[in-house]
């Protein structure tokens, strides 16, 4: 099961990187960012598949992947692109994390 979590962590990291590259591409006006975005999403889905192939339940894998992706992207977008991260958004991130923990425990 450790391999499943490692693959999932990789999927999250690559997906967040691809999403940040998408933002950096400025709507693909900076064409050199198209390949990293597309390749990143493909690799992320591949790693998500690997985590499922190692026996991780889909609801848990997808919940963790999506929630961590949203949270990390919001936090990093704040630092890298000076995008807003309001207290209400922070509460939303905390609630997502709580929800994923409850799904994991349930």
- Indicate if the pLDDT at residue 80 is higher than 90: yes
Helix (H, G, I), strand (E, B) or coil at 27: coil
pLDDT in tens, 29-46: 888 899 999 999 999 999
Do 85 and 71 form a contact (C-beta atoms < 8 A)? no
17 confidence band (pLDDT: 50, 70, 90)? very high
Strand runs (DSSP E) across 1-106, as ranges? none
d(CA 106, CA 55): 17
pLDDT at 30: 85
């Amino acid at each position: 099961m450790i391999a499943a979590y490692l693959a999932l962590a990789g999927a999250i990291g690559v997906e967040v990187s691809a999403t940040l590259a998408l933002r950096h591409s400025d709507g693909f006006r900076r064409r050199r960012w198209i390949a990293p975005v597309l390749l990143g999403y493909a690799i992320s889905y591949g790693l998500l598949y690997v985590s499922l192939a190692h026996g991780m339940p889909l609801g848990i894998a997808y919940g963790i992947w999506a929630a961590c992706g949203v949270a990390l992207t919001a936090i990093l977008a704040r630092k890298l692109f000076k995008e807003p991260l309001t207290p209400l958004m922070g509460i939303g991130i905390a609630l997502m994390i709580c929800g994923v923990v409850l799904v994991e425990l349930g």
